Amino acid sequence: MSITYPLLLDGGLSNELERQGCDLNQKLWSAKLLESNPEAIILAHLAYLESGAECIITSSYQATLPGFMAIGYDEDSAKGLILKSVQLAEEARSCFLSLNPQASKPLIAASIGPYGAYLADGSEYRGDYIISDQDLTDFHQPRINLLDDSTANLLACETIPGFQEAKVLSEILKNVKKPTWVSFSCKDGQHISDGTPIEQCAAHFADHPTIFAIGVNCTSPEFISELIRSIKTKSGNKKIIVYPNSGAVYHAESKTWSGLSDLSSCATMVKEWMDLGADIIGGCCGIGPEQITSMSKAMVELFPKKILVALDSFSELRQAAAPCVPYYDRS
């Protein structure tokens, strides 16, 4: 599999799900919709593909075996729901290609969130959970194995807040088959959420056999430029990936974000990040299709290639996609 750089990712999945009226204020967050409203996930993926995203990230960030089993699913059913996240992304991709037969085939990255995402207490932005290396291994290994055997193109270990968890993942990922990226949540321009210097994290993965990109996600845009500079000094030949959030503040109790976010300068920021050495760029929580479209246009100015313009509205997208979005009978 070959990847053309620069590569544009999608934005925050929760944005589009909430725009459809989905209530994500529960412990499984968007993963709950894998069973209750899979069509919404397909349409959310499709909105980003129509905005120019060349890689979409599955809805498995908070989809874990212990998470599903804690609310009554057996192990086989839980595994099926995790794999369904890839299936839904594939269905969105197929629908996109049927609507845009001239387009290149987008990539699918299977999301692997941190232990803190399973805890659903906001600790993926703090990295302060106390757990043994073995327990972290037991938590991550089954889902990684499952998604590594799936039909996704890539693995995405994202929003990693602490160096302990990064080192545990590093060991597990030595044995995967798929190219993988690892991205950290950061509290400033030099440190990940638990206070470890980002340079130390980058250095740890610089020679890793299956990691192809190192970077940051769900971090305020104001820190991204400095973080790119720091990663670049220690990441060897690895690609640099950045997909920040909108800069808003996350509230774990309500699973919501607050604060004013100025997203008008997305295109300018993308150009700066690319000049500094970022190879893969996108958005996380608070970054929607409109911003991904702006990023796509900015990339085209620097690296001419085909641009896919978003449909005018979500209702237009829903109407256009209707023939190719399957209906899931949940009776």
Judged on CB neighbours under 10 Å (0-12, 13-18, 19+), 312 is exposed
Q: Which two tokens stand for residue 207?
A: 């020679």
Q: Name which of 13-22, 136-145, 183-192, 322-331 the model is least confident about.
A: 322-331
pTM score, two decimals? Answer: 0.91
When pLDDT is averaged across residues 51-69 and rounded to a whole number, the result is 95
Mean pLDDT (the chain) is 89
When pLDDT is averaged across residues 46-54 and rounded to a whole number, the result is 95
Question: What is the model's pLDDT at position 255?
Answer: 47
Q: Yes or no: say if 118 and 136 are a contact pair by the CB < 8 Å rule.
A: no
Biggest CA pair distance of the chain:
54
φ, ψ of residue 2 to 5 degrees: the values are -110, 145
The amino acid at residue 101 is: P
Question: What is the model's pLDDT at position 155?
Answer: 98
Calpha distance 269→49 (Å, rounded): 21
Question: What is the model's pLDDT at position 322?
Answer: 64
Q: Yes or no: say if 225 and 199 are a contact pair by the CB < 8 Å rule.
A: no
Asked if pLDDT for residue 307 goes beyond 80, the answer is no
> DSSP characters for 41-108?
HHHHHHHHHHTT-SEEE-S-TT--HHHHHTTT--HHHHHHHHHHHHHHHHHHHHHHHHH-TTSPPPEE
Asked if pLDDT for residue 281 goes beyond 60, the answer is yes
Question: What is the model's pLDDT at position 252?
Answer: 46
Residue bearing tokens 């190192």: 214
Selected residue with higher pLDDT from 186 and 298: 186
How is domain 7-321 classified at the CATH fold level?
Answer: TIM Barrel (3.20.20)
Q: Yes or no: say if 136 and 64 are a contact pair by the CB < 8 Å rule.
A: no
Q: How confident is the model at residue 330 (pLDDT cuts 50, 70, 90)?
A: very low
Asked if pLDDT for residue 256 goes beyond 60, the answer is no
When pLDDT is averaged across residues 158-173 and rounded to a whole number, the result is 98
Q: Yes or no: say if 225 and 273 are a contact pair by the CB < 8 Å rule.
A: yes
Percent pLDDT > 90 in the chain is: 71
Q: How confident is the model at residue 261 (pLDDT cuts 50, 70, 90)?
A: low
Total residues belonging to the chain: 331
Asked if pLDDT for residue 212 goes beyond 70, the answer is yes
Q: Structural domain boundaries of the chain?
A: 7-321
Helix boundaries (H) for the chain:
13-19, 33-36, 38-50, 65-69, 75-99, 115-119, 133-148, 163-173, 198-205, 224-234, 266-276, 289-302, 314-321
When pLDDT is averaged across residues 29-51 and rounded to a whole number, the result is 91
Calpha distance 176→236 (Å, rounded): 21
Q: Which two tokens stand for residue 284?
A: 């996380």
